[in-house]
C-alpha cells in the first residue's frame, strides 16, 4: 500500500510551487517565522485534505472477498486520464516561463507575512490546490479501498503527508542551521524552479497519469 501511494507523495513533494514559496520566504525579511509557519501549515493542510478524501473513499462499498472493488479500476482510470489532461495543459504553458523568471503578484507579497498568516496560507494552499487533490485522490484509493483499522489508516496518512511535505521542510530546517551559506543556492534554485515550473509539472502528471491508468486497467481485468 505504501509503495502504491509513494509516487503520488513524491509527485506532491516535487511540485515546484511550494518550494518556490518557501524559498521566497527564506530570502525575505522574516525568514524563520514565515517559513516555519508555512511548513507547518503545509503539513497540516495536506494531512487534513488527505484524511477527508480517504474518509470519503471509505464510504464506498467494500469487496466481500480478495477481489478489488468494482469502482477501483474505473476510478483509477478516470484519475489517470485527468492527470494526462493536466500534463498536456502544463506542457502547453511551458514556453511562458522560458525567458526571465516571472512571479505572480501574490508571490511578491509572501515575504511580508508573519507566522500566523503564513500558517493559514500554507494550510489553504496545500488543501485547496486542484492539482494536489488529483494526487491525493489517486493515493486515497490504496488506503480507502481495503478495510483497515483506523490506527493503520492514520499512520499511513501521516507517513504520506510527511513525505509529501519533505521538500518544504528540508530547506526550512537547513536554513535554520546554515542561513548565510544557503542564501545564494536558494536564489538560484528559486529562479530555476520558477522558469521550469510547467515542464516539471507536465512530467509529473504524465508519469503519475500513466501509472494510474495502468493500475486501473489491471484492477478492471483482475
Q: DSSP secondary structure string, 136-150?
A: HHHHHHHHHSS---H
Question: Tens of pLDDT along 114-142?
Answer: 889 999 999 998 888 888 888 888 888 76
Largest CA distance in the chain: 59
- Give, in order, the Cα–Cα distances in Å from 86 to each of 8, 22, 196: 15, 24, 16
**Residue pair 64/148 in contact by the 8 Å Cβ criterion:** no
Q: How many CB atoms lie within 10 A of CB 180?
A: 7
Range of the domain at 144: 2-220
Q: What is the pTM of this model?
A: 0.77
Question: Tens of pLDDT along 34-90?
Answer: 999 999 999 999 999 998 988 887 776 665 555 555 666 677 788 888 888 988 888
Question: In terms of pLDDT, which residue wins out, 183 or 147?
Answer: 183
Give CA–CA dist 161/197, Å, rounded.
22
Number of domains composing the chain = 1
Amino acid at each position: 500500500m505504501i509503495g502504491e501511494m509513494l509516487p503520488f507523495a513524491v509527485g506532491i513533494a516535487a511540485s515546484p510551487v511550494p518550494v518556490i514559496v518557501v524559498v521566497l520566504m527564506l530570502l525575505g525579511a522574516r525568514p524563520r517565522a514565515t517559513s516555519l509557519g508555512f511548513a507547518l501549515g503545509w503539513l497540516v493542510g495536506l494531512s487534513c485534505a488527505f484524511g477527508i478524501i480517504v474518509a470519503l473513499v471509505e464510504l464506498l462499498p467494500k469487496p466481500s472477498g480478495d477481489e478489488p472493488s468494482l469502482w477501483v479500476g474505473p476510478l483509477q482510470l478516470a484519475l489517470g486520464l485527468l492527470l494526462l489532461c493536466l500534463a498536456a495543459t502544463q506542457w502547453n504553458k511551458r514556453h511562458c516561463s522560458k525567458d526571465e523568471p516571472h512571479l505572480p503578484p501574490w508571490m511578491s507579497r509572501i515575504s511580508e507575512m508573519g507566522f500566523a498568516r503564513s500558517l493559514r496560507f500554507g494550510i489553504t494552499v496545500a488543501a485547496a490546490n486542484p492539482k494536489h487533490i488529483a494526487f491525493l485522490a489517486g493515493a486515497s484509493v490504496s488506503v480507502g479501498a481495503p478495510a483497515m483499522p483506523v490506527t493503520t489508516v492514520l499512520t499511513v496518512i501521516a507517513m504520506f503527508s510527511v513525505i509529501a511535505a519533505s521538500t518544504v521542510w528540508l530547506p526550512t530546517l537547513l536554513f535554520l542551521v546554515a542561513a548565510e551559506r544557503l542564501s545564494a543556492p536558494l536564489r538560484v534554485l528559486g529562479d530555476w524552479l520558477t522558469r521550469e515550473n510547467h515542464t516539471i509539472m507536465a512530467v509529473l502528471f504524465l508519469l503519475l497519469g500513466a501509472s494510474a491508468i495502468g493500475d486501473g486497467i489491471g484492477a478492471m481485468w483482475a
